[in-house]
Amino acid sequence: MTITYAQAISVHEQADLLVSGETIAKSIETMAADITATLSKEMPLVLCVLNGGLIPMAQLLLKLQFPLETDYLHATRYGKKTVGTNLSWLARPSIDINNRTVLVVDDIYDEGHTLAAICEYLKEAGAKKVYAAALLNKVHDRKVDYVPDFIGLDVEDRFVYGFGMDYQGYFRNVDGIYAVKDM
């Protein structure tokens, strides 16, 4: 079901701002410093997990002042839904990852199924080392046995959107992290 303009506006007007754009910017600076300390001499391949990782990765790349290559992949459990299901691959990296150091950048580390599966796929495909970065860590006890190497911020266990994450396909473009009311 597609939401209407009025429904989308209503959701956003009622949503709670959890993290401001300024706080996100500071967090990205910290992540970039940590990533630089770890990967600056590796000439890594940095992979964006579409669609949610697009804005966090773009902001992060501007802070990584060392040689790197970029590409993307598109794997999702959510689509336009609010609940995840089986992992679906829509696009795999086009650059050869064999014997490469790879950094995967995603929007959120929720339960970890998607990010863990992506990193496992990259290892099996021949990557020398695989690191993962997520802008957000949703705090709860339903996680798989996997933790990203770089995490920006913790957020409460609510349905969040903004800064790359969507609500039913919309609002990836808002500067900040918002939580849908009563969800």
Q: What is the pLDDT of residue 173?
A: 97
Determine if the pTM surpasses 0.95.
no
Which of these, 179, 107, 180, 116, lies nearest to 143 by C-alpha position?
116
Residue 94: C-alpha distances to residues 45, 55, 72, 116, 160 (Å): 11, 20, 8, 20, 30
Q: What's the mean pLDDT when you consider all of the chain?
A: 93
Q: Is the pLDDT of residue 144 over 80?
A: yes
Q: Is the pLDDT of residue 85 over 90?
A: no
User: Could you give the CA distance from residue 121 to residue 107 in angstroms, rounded to a whole number?
Assistant: 19
Record the tokens describing residue 109, joined without a space.
């580390």
- Cis before residue 51, ω within 30 degrees of 0? yes
Q: What is the pLDDT of residue 175?
A: 97
Amino acid identity, residue 174?
V
Q: What is the pLDDT of residue 89?
A: 86
Report the 10 Å Cβ neighbour count for 168: 17
Catalytic annotation, pick one of 106, 107, 110, 166? 110
Which tens digit of pLDDT belongs to each residue from 38-73?
999 999 999 999 999 999 999 999 999 999 999 999
Q: List the domains of the chain with CATH numbers.
A: 5-179 (3.40.50.2020)
CB 107 within 8 A of CB 151: no
Of the pLDDT bands very low, low, confident and very high (cuts 50, 70, 90), residue 139 is: very high
Q: Is the pLDDT of residue 75 over 60?
A: yes
Of the pLDDT bands very low, low, confident and very high (cuts 50, 70, 90), residue 1 is: low
Q: Is the pLDDT of residue 118 over 60?
A: yes
* Residue 38: HSE in the Cβ half-sphere, 13 Å Cα cutoff: 17
Is 110 a catalytic site residue? yes
